Amino acid sequence: MSSEVSEEAYQRLRERPDYQFDLPDTRGIEDQQQNADPTGFLADLFEAFRQFFEFIGPVLRVGLICFAVLLAGYVVWSVFRGIQSRRRRIGSDGLSKTTEDALKNMDMRPDEGEAMSLLAKADALAEAGDFAAAQRLLLHSSFRDMQARVRERIGVSLTARELEKLGKLSDTSRAALTRLVRRVELNAFAQESVDQAGFLAAREAYSRFAFGEASP
């Protein structure tokens, strides 16, 4: 076969589209691989999260609003239930007969040892010049003790005015407790100052409440 025939056959072969004689150009692919952003995966991940939260955002807002409404409703219901419970316990004319009967024979006075210890603490405050705090200590500690006794007996707490009227107390002790309450109220609400004489009067009232007579 002559060289002309061979060349002609070769040219026809190269012209056929089903044969490939040139290697593909991979420089563009290599450049893309070299320039690829290594953080692309993380960026795609964050973008997916962003789109997800954008999608559920309205649902979350509705859920939070519903939760706030339910919470507010629960608070209102709890307050209303407490008021209703107290109304059932306290009649229109004062304490219910059941409460009065349950506490009728309960001694509201503190134990003698506790009373003496409380007087010593109040005297220490008075010696430091804080007569108002010493006076409040006598009353508040007394009411805390009475509250504990009442809760143990009937399972509920009462106000100071209610405690003042309840329990087994002599007329002398009850009148003394009333005087102590009034002295503390004058200082707390009327801003009446308390001097040494005022504290001694409160101390005597507490002593008559706790012991039935003034303590030394």
Spell 166-182 as b/e; 16+ CB within 10 A means b: bbebeeebbebbebbbe
Instruction: Work out the average pLDDT over 25-29.
Output: 55
Query: Is 202 part of a structural domain of the chain?
Result: yes
Tally of structural domains, the chain: 2
Residues of the domain holding 204? 112-211
Query: Is 29 part of a structural domain of the chain?
Result: no
With bands split at pLDDT 50, 70 and 90, how would you rate the model's confidence at 2? low
Query: Is 107 part of a structural domain of the chain?
Result: no
Same domain, yes or no, for 144 and 83? no
Query: Is 28 part of a structural domain of the chain?
Result: no
Same domain, yes or no, for 87 and 126? no
Residues sharing a CB contact under 8 Å with residue 172, sequence separation 6 or more, in sequence order? 208, 212
User: What is the SS3 assignment for 107?
Assistant: strand
- Each residue's pLDDT tens digit, 41-86: 677 777 777 777 777 778 778 888 888 888 888 888 888 777 766 5
Q: Give the pLDDT score at 92.
A: 41
What global pTM score does this model have? 0.52
Same domain, yes or no, for 80 and 168? no
With bands split at pLDDT 50, 70 and 90, how would you rate the model's confidence at 160? low
Same domain, yes or no, for 87 and 121? no
Q: From CA 12, how far away is CA 27, in angstroms rounded?
A: 29
